[in-house]
Structure 1
Amino acid sequence: MNKNLYPIFLIIFTAIFTVPAKAQQHDFVITNNGDTVQCKLKFAFFGGAPSYQTDTLGEFIKIKSDKIRYFRSFKDGKTRRAAKAVYINGSKKRRFIDIVQEGEIMMYKMVQTGYNYVQTTTWYAAKGTDTLTELKTSAILATTSRKSRKEFLKDILKDKPEIYDKYVADDSFSFAAIGDLIYLYNTTPPIKRSAWKLEY
Protein backbone atom coordinates (compact mmCIF):
# COMPACT_ATOMS: atom_id res chain seq x y z
CA MET A 1 0.00 0.00 0.00
CA ASN A 2 1.21 3.51 -0.81
CA LYS A 3 2.54 4.97 2.45
CA ASN A 4 0.87 8.30 1.68
CA LEU A 5 -2.54 6.62 1.52
CA TYR A 6 -2.14 4.65 4.75
CA PRO A 7 -3.20 7.48 7.14
CA ILE A 8 -6.32 8.13 5.04
CA PHE A 9 -7.22 4.43 5.01
CA LEU A 10 -6.70 4.25 8.78
CA ILE A 11 -9.04 7.21 9.38
CA ILE A 12 -11.79 5.71 7.19
CA PHE A 13 -11.40 2.26 8.78
CA THR A 14 -11.59 3.73 12.28
CA ALA A 15 -14.65 5.84 11.43
CA ILE A 16 -16.54 2.85 10.02
CA PHE A 17 -15.88 0.48 12.88
CA THR A 18 -16.17 2.89 15.78
CA VAL A 19 -19.67 4.18 14.94
CA PRO A 20 -21.90 2.99 17.81
CA ALA A 21 -24.21 0.20 16.72
CA LYS A 22 -27.89 1.05 16.96
CA ALA A 23 -29.48 -0.83 19.82
CA GLN A 24 -31.68 -3.62 18.54
CA GLN A 25 -35.30 -3.38 19.60
CA HIS A 26 -36.95 -6.58 20.77
CA ASP A 27 -40.63 -7.45 20.71
CA PHE A 28 -42.11 -7.70 24.18
CA VAL A 29 -45.27 -8.32 26.15
CA ILE A 30 -46.33 -7.09 29.58
CA THR A 31 -48.20 -9.58 31.72
CA ASN A 32 -51.10 -8.75 34.01
CA ASN A 33 -48.64 -9.12 36.90
CA GLY A 34 -46.56 -6.29 35.45
CA ASP A 35 -43.67 -8.42 34.16
CA THR A 36 -42.04 -7.36 30.88
CA VAL A 37 -41.05 -10.36 28.77
CA GLN A 38 -38.92 -10.19 25.62
CA CYS A 39 -40.29 -12.42 22.91
CA LYS A 40 -40.96 -12.93 19.23
CA LEU A 41 -44.41 -11.87 18.04
CA LYS A 42 -46.22 -13.50 15.13
CA PHE A 43 -49.29 -11.85 13.62
CA ALA A 44 -52.27 -13.57 12.07
CA PHE A 45 -53.01 -12.77 8.43
CA PHE A 46 -56.50 -11.46 9.24
CA GLY A 47 -55.44 -9.34 12.22
CA GLY A 48 -56.38 -9.78 15.84
CA ALA A 49 -54.04 -10.40 18.75
CA PRO A 50 -50.74 -12.07 17.80
CA SER A 51 -49.00 -15.11 19.25
CA TYR A 52 -45.72 -14.90 21.14
CA GLN A 53 -42.71 -17.13 21.68
CA THR A 54 -39.96 -16.75 24.29
CA ASP A 55 -36.59 -18.46 24.65
CA THR A 56 -38.16 -20.92 27.09
CA LEU A 57 -41.28 -21.61 25.01
CA GLY A 58 -41.01 -24.13 22.23
CA GLU A 59 -44.15 -22.96 20.46
CA PHE A 60 -46.08 -19.77 19.82
CA ILE A 61 -48.84 -19.05 22.32
CA LYS A 62 -51.88 -16.94 21.50
CA ILE A 63 -51.93 -13.68 23.43
CA LYS A 64 -55.03 -13.44 25.63
CA SER A 65 -56.16 -10.56 27.81
CA ASP A 66 -56.54 -12.75 30.91
CA LYS A 67 -52.73 -13.10 31.05
CA ILE A 68 -51.26 -10.33 28.87
CA ARG A 69 -52.20 -6.64 29.04
CA TYR A 70 -49.84 -5.07 26.46
CA PHE A 71 -47.64 -6.00 23.51
CA ARG A 72 -45.29 -4.14 21.19
CA SER A 73 -43.48 -5.31 18.07
CA PHE A 74 -40.68 -3.64 16.11
CA LYS A 75 -39.49 -3.59 12.52
CA ASP A 76 -36.33 -1.86 11.33
CA GLY A 77 -35.92 -0.19 14.71
CA LYS A 78 -39.40 1.36 14.70
CA THR A 79 -42.64 0.33 16.32
CA ARG A 80 -44.58 -1.96 14.01
CA ARG A 81 -47.61 -2.38 16.23
CA ALA A 82 -48.54 -1.73 19.85
CA ALA A 83 -51.79 -2.64 21.56
CA LYS A 84 -53.29 -2.76 25.03
CA ALA A 85 -56.10 -4.81 26.55
CA VAL A 86 -58.85 -2.32 27.40
CA TYR A 87 -62.59 -2.01 27.91
CA ILE A 88 -64.56 -0.68 24.95
CA ASN A 89 -68.21 -0.10 24.05
CA GLY A 90 -69.47 -1.16 27.48
CA SER A 91 -67.79 -4.56 27.36
CA LYS A 92 -67.00 -6.25 30.68
CA LYS A 93 -64.10 -8.13 29.10
CA ARG A 94 -60.87 -6.54 27.96
CA ARG A 95 -59.89 -6.71 24.31
CA PHE A 96 -56.74 -5.61 22.48
CA ILE A 97 -57.03 -2.27 20.68
CA ASP A 98 -54.18 -0.78 18.64
CA ILE A 99 -52.46 2.28 20.11
CA VAL A 100 -52.07 5.45 18.04
CA GLN A 101 -50.38 7.58 20.71
CA GLU A 102 -49.08 6.87 24.19
CA GLY A 103 -48.85 9.33 27.06
CA GLU A 104 -51.01 10.82 29.77
CA ILE A 105 -53.76 10.72 27.17
CA MET A 106 -53.83 7.37 25.39
CA MET A 107 -55.28 7.30 21.89
CA TYR A 108 -56.41 4.09 20.20
CA LYS A 109 -57.83 3.10 16.84
CA MET A 110 -60.09 0.41 15.47
CA VAL A 111 -60.37 -0.27 11.75
CA GLN A 112 -63.36 -2.28 10.58
CA THR A 113 -64.33 -3.53 7.14
CA GLY A 114 -68.00 -3.45 6.27
CA TYR A 115 -70.28 -3.83 3.27
CA ASN A 116 -68.48 -3.75 -0.10
CA TYR A 117 -65.17 -3.86 1.80
CA VAL A 118 -65.55 -0.25 2.91
CA GLN A 119 -63.23 0.45 5.85
CA THR A 120 -64.11 2.72 8.73
CA THR A 121 -61.63 4.06 11.26
CA THR A 122 -62.63 4.96 14.81
CA TRP A 123 -60.39 6.67 17.34
CA TYR A 124 -60.83 6.27 21.08
CA ALA A 125 -59.14 8.04 23.98
CA ALA A 126 -58.57 7.38 27.66
CA LYS A 127 -56.96 9.36 30.45
CA GLY A 128 -56.11 7.58 33.68
CA THR A 129 -58.39 4.66 32.87
CA ASP A 130 -58.53 1.52 30.72
CA THR A 131 -62.12 2.27 29.70
CA LEU A 132 -62.18 3.92 26.28
CA THR A 133 -64.41 6.70 25.01
CA GLU A 134 -65.15 7.11 21.32
CA LEU A 135 -63.55 10.28 20.01
CA LYS A 136 -63.73 10.36 16.21
CA THR A 137 -65.01 8.04 13.49
CA SER A 138 -65.18 7.93 9.71
CA ALA A 139 -68.39 5.89 9.94
CA ILE A 140 -71.68 7.49 8.94
CA LEU A 141 -73.12 6.82 12.39
CA ALA A 142 -71.23 7.17 15.67
CA THR A 143 -72.17 5.60 18.99
CA THR A 144 -72.36 9.06 20.61
CA SER A 145 -73.17 12.55 19.39
CA ARG A 146 -70.52 14.81 17.88
CA LYS A 147 -71.28 17.39 20.58
CA SER A 148 -70.60 14.95 23.42
CA ARG A 149 -67.36 13.78 21.78
CA LYS A 150 -66.15 17.37 21.38
CA GLU A 151 -66.98 18.05 25.02
CA PHE A 152 -65.06 14.93 26.04
CA LEU A 153 -61.98 16.21 24.21
CA LYS A 154 -62.34 19.58 25.96
CA ASP A 155 -62.55 17.82 29.31
CA ILE A 156 -59.33 15.81 28.89
CA LEU A 157 -57.39 18.83 27.57
CA LYS A 158 -58.55 21.48 30.04
CA ASP A 159 -55.80 20.97 32.65
CA LYS A 160 -53.30 22.32 30.09
CA PRO A 161 -54.79 25.74 29.24
CA GLU A 162 -52.50 26.45 26.27
CA ILE A 163 -53.61 23.24 24.54
CA TYR A 164 -57.24 23.72 25.53
CA ASP A 165 -57.22 27.30 24.20
CA LYS A 166 -55.73 26.14 20.90
CA TYR A 167 -58.52 23.57 20.53
CA VAL A 168 -61.20 26.19 21.20
CA ALA A 169 -59.57 28.77 18.91
CA ASP A 170 -58.98 26.40 15.98
CA ASP A 171 -62.47 24.92 16.31
CA SER A 172 -61.46 21.86 14.28
CA PHE A 173 -62.49 18.28 15.00
CA SER A 174 -60.71 16.51 12.15
CA PHE A 175 -58.51 13.44 12.62
CA ALA A 176 -55.39 15.54 11.96
CA ALA A 177 -56.41 18.28 14.40
CA ILE A 178 -57.23 15.79 17.17
CA GLY A 179 -53.96 13.93 16.63
CA ASP A 180 -51.97 17.17 16.84
CA LEU A 181 -53.72 18.32 20.02
CA ILE A 182 -53.14 15.06 21.85
CA TYR A 183 -49.53 14.94 20.69
CA LEU A 184 -49.02 18.49 21.97
CA TYR A 185 -50.64 17.53 25.26
CA ASN A 186 -48.41 14.48 25.71
CA THR A 187 -45.14 16.16 24.68
CA THR A 188 -43.29 19.44 24.97
CA PRO A 189 -44.05 22.02 22.23
CA PRO A 190 -43.14 23.28 19.74
CA ILE A 191 -43.60 20.61 17.07
CA LYS A 192 -44.38 20.60 13.40
CA ARG A 193 -47.96 19.92 12.44
CA SER A 194 -48.79 16.21 12.45
CA ALA A 195 -45.25 15.30 13.57
CA TRP A 196 -46.78 12.61 15.79
CA LYS A 197 -47.60 10.57 12.68
CA LEU A 198 -43.90 9.79 12.34
CA GLU A 199 -43.93 8.01 15.69
CA TYR A 200 -45.66 4.86 14.41
Structure 2
Amino acid sequence: MKINLITLITLLVTFLTAGAQNNDRVITINNDTIPCKIIGRTTFSTYKYTTSENGKAEKITKDKFREFYTGDKSIWYRKIFLGDDEVVFMKVLERGKISLYETFVAINNMTTHISTTNLKWYATKNSDTAVFIQTDASAIFTGNKKGRKAFAGYIADKKDVYDQYIAIKDPSIEDMVLLALVYNTGERLKQPAPEPPVKKADDSADFNPSQN
Protein backbone atom coordinates (compact mmCIF):
# COMPACT_ATOMS: atom_id res chain seq x y z
CA MET A 1 0.00 0.00 0.00
CA LYS A 2 2.87 2.32 0.85
CA ILE A 3 4.49 1.67 -2.52
CA ASN A 4 1.24 2.31 -4.35
CA LEU A 5 0.75 5.60 -2.51
CA ILE A 6 4.26 6.77 -3.39
CA THR A 7 3.70 5.77 -7.01
CA LEU A 8 0.41 7.65 -7.08
CA ILE A 9 2.00 10.81 -5.65
CA THR A 10 4.85 10.58 -8.15
CA LEU A 11 2.45 10.25 -11.07
CA LEU A 12 0.35 13.15 -9.80
CA VAL A 13 3.36 15.45 -9.44
CA THR A 14 4.56 14.45 -12.91
CA PHE A 15 1.15 15.17 -14.39
CA LEU A 16 0.84 18.56 -12.70
CA THR A 17 4.38 19.54 -13.66
CA ALA A 18 3.82 18.56 -17.28
CA GLY A 19 0.59 20.55 -17.35
CA ALA A 20 2.30 23.63 -15.93
CA GLN A 21 5.09 23.35 -18.44
CA ASN A 22 2.64 23.26 -21.36
CA ASN A 23 0.66 26.38 -20.49
CA ASP A 24 2.54 28.33 -23.16
CA ARG A 25 1.50 28.44 -26.81
CA VAL A 26 3.00 28.88 -30.25
CA ILE A 27 0.70 29.49 -33.21
CA THR A 28 1.83 28.45 -36.67
CA ILE A 29 1.28 30.37 -39.89
CA ASN A 30 -1.52 27.85 -40.60
CA ASN A 31 -3.21 28.82 -37.31
CA ASP A 32 -2.36 25.55 -35.55
CA THR A 33 -1.91 26.08 -31.80
CA ILE A 34 0.80 24.02 -30.10
CA PRO A 35 0.99 23.65 -26.29
CA CYS A 36 4.62 24.05 -25.27
CA LYS A 37 7.16 25.56 -22.91
CA ILE A 38 8.64 28.83 -24.19
CA ILE A 39 12.29 29.34 -23.34
CA GLY A 40 13.41 32.89 -22.67
CA ARG A 41 16.15 34.70 -24.49
CA THR A 42 18.90 37.21 -24.00
CA THR A 43 18.41 40.66 -25.53
CA PHE A 44 19.43 39.80 -29.08
CA SER A 45 18.80 36.03 -29.27
CA THR A 46 15.76 34.14 -30.52
CA TYR A 47 12.97 32.67 -28.41
CA LYS A 48 12.68 28.89 -28.47
CA TYR A 49 10.04 26.36 -27.47
CA THR A 50 9.86 22.72 -26.52
CA THR A 51 6.89 20.36 -26.33
CA SER A 52 8.38 18.05 -23.69
CA GLU A 53 10.65 18.38 -20.68
CA ASN A 54 13.60 16.66 -22.31
CA GLY A 55 12.73 17.49 -25.89
CA LYS A 56 14.87 19.52 -28.25
CA ALA A 57 14.22 23.25 -28.18
CA GLU A 58 13.21 24.69 -31.54
CA LYS A 59 13.60 28.30 -32.63
CA ILE A 60 10.44 30.34 -33.06
CA THR A 61 10.94 31.77 -36.53
CA LYS A 62 8.87 34.14 -38.64
CA ASP A 63 8.63 31.70 -41.55
CA LYS A 64 6.86 29.08 -39.39
CA PHE A 65 5.01 30.97 -36.64
CA ARG A 66 2.75 33.99 -36.37
CA GLU A 67 2.36 34.31 -32.60
CA PHE A 68 3.62 32.95 -29.28
CA TYR A 69 2.95 33.63 -25.63
CA THR A 70 3.41 32.27 -22.13
CA GLY A 71 0.44 31.19 -20.03
CA ASP A 72 0.45 34.43 -18.03
CA LYS A 73 1.07 36.56 -21.17
CA SER A 74 4.22 38.04 -19.61
CA ILE A 75 5.84 37.05 -22.90
CA TRP A 76 3.56 37.72 -25.87
CA TYR A 77 4.72 38.40 -29.42
CA ARG A 78 3.01 38.54 -32.81
CA LYS A 79 4.34 38.70 -36.33
CA ILE A 80 3.74 42.17 -37.71
CA PHE A 81 4.26 43.62 -41.18
CA LEU A 82 5.99 46.95 -41.71
CA GLY A 83 5.26 47.86 -45.29
CA ASP A 84 5.57 45.26 -48.05
CA ASP A 85 8.86 43.58 -47.28
CA GLU A 86 9.69 43.89 -43.56
CA VAL A 87 8.30 41.39 -41.06
CA VAL A 88 9.17 41.40 -37.35
CA PHE A 89 8.01 39.84 -34.09
CA MET A 90 6.71 42.59 -31.80
CA LYS A 91 5.76 42.56 -28.15
CA VAL A 92 1.99 42.86 -27.66
CA LEU A 93 0.87 45.71 -25.41
CA GLU A 94 -2.84 45.68 -26.27
CA ARG A 95 -4.77 43.28 -28.50
CA GLY A 96 -8.13 43.98 -30.09
CA LYS A 97 -9.64 45.85 -33.02
CA ILE A 98 -6.83 48.29 -32.34
CA SER A 99 -3.60 46.62 -31.24
CA LEU A 100 -0.43 48.23 -29.93
CA TYR A 101 3.05 46.75 -30.16
CA GLU A 102 6.55 47.43 -28.93
CA THR A 103 9.94 46.76 -30.47
CA PHE A 104 13.42 48.19 -30.10
CA VAL A 105 16.23 49.40 -32.31
CA ALA A 106 19.84 48.83 -31.28
CA ILE A 107 22.20 51.71 -32.02
CA ASN A 108 25.96 51.28 -31.88
CA ASN A 109 28.02 54.44 -31.48
CA MET A 110 31.07 53.92 -33.67
CA THR A 111 33.04 56.52 -31.70
CA THR A 112 32.36 55.40 -28.14
CA HIS A 113 31.56 51.78 -29.05
CA ILE A 114 28.62 51.96 -26.65
CA SER A 115 25.38 50.32 -27.74
CA THR A 116 22.03 51.79 -26.77
CA THR A 117 18.46 50.78 -27.57
CA ASN A 118 15.50 52.93 -28.48
CA LEU A 119 11.97 51.65 -28.00
CA LYS A 120 9.51 52.10 -30.84
CA TRP A 121 5.75 51.58 -30.71
CA TYR A 122 3.36 50.64 -33.49
CA ALA A 123 -0.38 50.26 -33.94
CA THR A 124 -2.64 48.15 -36.16
CA LYS A 125 -6.35 48.30 -36.82
CA ASN A 126 -8.09 45.17 -38.09
CA SER A 127 -4.90 43.98 -39.77
CA ASP A 128 -1.34 42.81 -39.14
CA THR A 129 0.21 45.75 -40.99
CA ALA A 130 1.44 48.32 -38.50
CA VAL A 131 1.98 52.06 -38.52
CA PHE A 132 4.54 53.83 -36.36
CA ILE A 133 3.05 55.90 -33.52
CA GLN A 134 5.85 56.83 -31.13
CA THR A 135 9.41 56.32 -29.89
CA ASP A 136 11.14 57.02 -26.60
CA ALA A 137 13.79 58.96 -28.54
CA SER A 138 11.39 61.91 -28.71
CA ALA A 139 14.06 64.46 -27.87
CA ILE A 140 15.80 63.84 -31.20
CA PHE A 141 13.03 62.26 -33.24
CA THR A 142 10.33 64.42 -34.86
CA GLY A 143 8.26 61.53 -36.22
CA ASN A 144 6.23 61.26 -33.02
CA LYS A 145 3.90 64.04 -34.16
CA LYS A 146 3.03 62.16 -37.33
CA GLY A 147 2.65 58.89 -35.41
CA ARG A 148 0.32 60.42 -32.85
CA LYS A 149 -1.79 61.80 -35.68
CA ALA A 150 -2.01 58.30 -37.16
CA PHE A 151 -3.22 56.92 -33.82
CA ALA A 152 -5.79 59.70 -33.59
CA GLY A 153 -7.11 58.61 -36.98
CA TYR A 154 -7.53 55.04 -35.70
CA ILE A 155 -9.73 56.09 -32.78
CA ALA A 156 -11.59 58.94 -34.50
CA ASP A 157 -14.72 56.82 -35.02
CA LYS A 158 -15.31 56.76 -31.25
CA LYS A 159 -15.67 60.41 -30.34
CA ASP A 160 -15.46 60.00 -26.57
CA VAL A 161 -12.13 58.16 -26.85
CA TYR A 162 -10.86 60.58 -29.48
CA ASP A 163 -11.78 63.62 -27.36
CA GLN A 164 -9.94 62.19 -24.37
CA TYR A 165 -6.88 61.60 -26.53
CA ILE A 166 -6.63 65.05 -28.08
CA ALA A 167 -7.13 66.61 -24.65
CA ILE A 168 -3.78 65.15 -23.57
CA LYS A 169 -1.04 67.66 -24.31
CA ASP A 170 1.82 65.16 -24.60
CA PRO A 171 0.35 61.61 -24.78
CA SER A 172 2.61 58.80 -23.62
CA ILE A 173 2.52 55.22 -24.82
CA GLU A 174 0.77 54.36 -21.54
CA ASP A 175 -1.99 56.83 -22.46
CA MET A 176 -2.33 55.20 -25.89
CA VAL A 177 -2.50 51.68 -24.45
CA LEU A 178 -5.21 52.72 -22.00
CA LEU A 179 -7.27 54.49 -24.65
CA ALA A 180 -6.90 51.55 -27.04
CA LEU A 181 -8.21 49.30 -24.27
CA VAL A 182 -11.18 51.64 -23.75
CA TYR A 183 -11.77 51.70 -27.52
CA ASN A 184 -11.65 47.90 -27.76
CA THR A 185 -13.77 47.06 -24.71
CA GLY A 186 -16.17 49.98 -24.53
CA GLU A 187 -15.28 50.52 -20.89
CA ARG A 188 -15.26 54.07 -19.63
CA LEU A 189 -12.19 55.56 -18.03
CA LYS A 190 -12.59 55.80 -14.28
CA GLN A 191 -12.54 59.38 -13.12
CA PRO A 192 -10.44 60.02 -10.03
CA ALA A 193 -12.41 60.55 -6.85
CA PRO A 194 -12.63 64.21 -5.82
CA GLU A 195 -10.23 65.20 -3.10
CA PRO A 196 -11.87 65.86 0.27
CA PRO A 197 -12.02 69.51 1.32
CA VAL A 198 -9.04 70.64 3.34
CA LYS A 199 -9.96 71.69 6.82
CA LYS A 200 -7.99 74.67 7.99
CA ALA A 201 -6.22 73.86 11.22
CA ASP A 202 -5.58 76.38 13.95
CA ASP A 203 -2.12 77.10 15.29
CA SER A 204 -2.52 74.98 18.41
CA ALA A 205 -3.95 71.71 17.01
CA ASP A 206 -2.56 68.98 14.81
CA PHE A 207 0.72 70.76 14.24
CA ASN A 208 2.81 69.15 11.51
CA PRO A 209 6.50 70.09 11.76
CA SER A 210 7.08 69.13 8.10
CA GLN A 211 4.68 71.73 6.78
CA ASN A 212 6.09 74.91 5.34
Confirm or deny a common fold (TM above 0.5).
Answer: yes
Structure 1 residue 127 displacement after superposition: 0.6
Equivalent residue of 2:180, what SS?
A: helix
1:1-200 superposed matches below 5 A: 26-55=23-52, 58-74=55-71, 78-88=72-82, 90=83, 92-114=85-107, 115=109, 116-139=114-137, 140-142=139-141, 145-192=143-190
Equivalent residue of 2:96, what SS?
A: coil
**Partners of 1:99 and 1:123 in 2: CA distance:** 10
CA RMSD of aligned residues (A): 2.6
User: Are the counterparts in 1 of residues 90 and 101 from structure 2 also a CA contact under 8 Å?
Assistant: yes
Change beyond 3 A, Cα 1:46–1:174 = closer
Residue correspondences, number: 166
Point out where structure 2 has 5 or more consecutive residues left out of the alignment.
Answer: 1-18, 192-212
**Partners of 1:137 and 1:93 in 2: CA distance:** 18
Cα deviation digits, residues 125-175 of structure 1 (max 9, x gap): 011121211111111444x73332222112100121211121123344222
Quote the sequence identity (%).
Answer: 27
**Partners of 1:128 and 1:136 in 2: CA distance:** 19
TM-score by length of 2: 0.68
User: Are the counterparts in 2 of residues 49 and 96 from structure 1 also a CA contact under 8 Å?
Assistant: no
User: Are the counterparts in 1 of residues 134 and 148 from structure 2 also a CA contact under 8 Å?
Assistant: no
Point out where structure 1 has 5 or more consecutive residues left out of the alignment.
Answer: 1-22, 194-200
Cα deviation digits, residues 19-69 of structure 1 (max 9, x gap): xxxx96710011111111101111222344311111499311111111110
TM-score by length of 1: 0.72
**Partners of 2:119 and 2:86 in 1: CA distance:** 22
**Partners of 1:56 and 1:35 in 2: CA distance:** 21
